[in-house]
Amino acid sequence: MAANTQDVIMLFGDSLTQGGWEPLGFAQRLASAYVRKLDVINRGLSGYQTDWAIPVLEQIIAKQHEQHHVPTVQLLTIWYGANDAAPLPSPQHVPRDQFKANLIHLVDMVKSPTSAYYSPHTRIILITPPPVNTHQWPGRDFDQTRLYAEAVKEAGHQTGVPIADVWTEIWEAAGRDERACEEFLSDGLHLNAAGYEIVFNSIMKIVADKYPEIHHEKLQTIFVPWSEVNVDDPRSSLAKRPTIVWLG
């Protein structure tokens, strides 16, 4: 059984999150940057949208009375919209207003002191879906996805949660040209390594600006670097340490 040794970064979302474990995906990059400091937990569910995300989140984060047994989620990314924006009659479709309300509900589950899942130490980042290249993926609508990316930003502003605006960053990097988005998309909907690099950098910029105490460069390893092991009495130097070092 695994003891509760490291706190975690939880990545919650759809296939864009699930695919984050690919080589050079954003989960892999985060896991590499945070090795020995925070574990990365991928809770990406391909094809899911926010109506379905709510009952899932209720099962993947702990209620208040369970929290002392489990790792703290130091950072939670919430990344939906790519499927919510699917046009009707797709069962994935969620109306834009409902999508925005669902995002706010997901945030409030963690942030609201009256929520059973209230977790005051969990920092949240909302991520916008990337632009869709309908030349590559005809089943989506370019402007529809843009409007859902806008809804993520509105939900972020309304809840005070910072936004990794992947839609705009990729759109600008592609010179505001839908076809040129293929540089960042493997199939018109999902990201390739260049796309995930934008996601990773955007997350790390927010962490540096808003949540600097959990930047990987500010954390210490749970177990000391090997050069600091007391060779004459190893056990004395090998006690687990907190990774977050509060400097005041």
Residues at the site binding a second copy, with contacts judged by CB under 8 A: 1-6, 8, 10, 18, 21-24, 27-28, 31-32, 35-36, 39, 41-48, 51-52, 55-56, 59-62, 66-67, 69-73, 83, 91-92, 119, 122, 223, 225-227, 229, 231, 234-235, 238-240
Q: 190 near 19, Cβ under 8 Å?
A: yes
What is the nearest approach in angstroms of a second copy to the Cβ of residue 5? 5
Rounded Cα–Cα distance for residues 131 and 141 (Å): 9
Answer for the pair 79, 17: CB distance below 8 angstroms, yes or no.
Answer: yes
Measured CA angle at 38 (ends 63, 157), to 5 deg: 65
13: enclosing H helix or E strand: strand 8-13
Q: How far is CA 135 from the centre of its chain?
A: 27
What is the closest distance, in whole angstroms, from the C-beta atom of residue 49 to a second copy in the complex? Answer: 8
Pick 147 or 238: Cβ nearer a second copy: 238
CB of 81 to a second copy, least distance (A): 15
- The answer to whether residues 107 and 136 touch, using CB atoms and an 8 Å cutoff, is no
- Residue 12, classed as helix, strand or coil, is strand
Contact 129/79 with Cβ under 8 angstroms?
yes
By beta-carbon proximity to a second copy, the closer residue of 173 and 224 is 224
Output the smallest distance, CB 180 to a second copy, in A.
Answer: 25
Collapsing DSSP states into helix, strand and coil, what is residue 79?
strand
Query: Least distance to a second copy from the beta carbon of 172, Å?
Result: 26
Residue among 45 and 174 whose Cβ is closer to a second copy: 45
Nearer to a second copy, 178 or 201 (CB): 201
Closer residue to a second copy, CB minimum distance, 226 or 246: 226
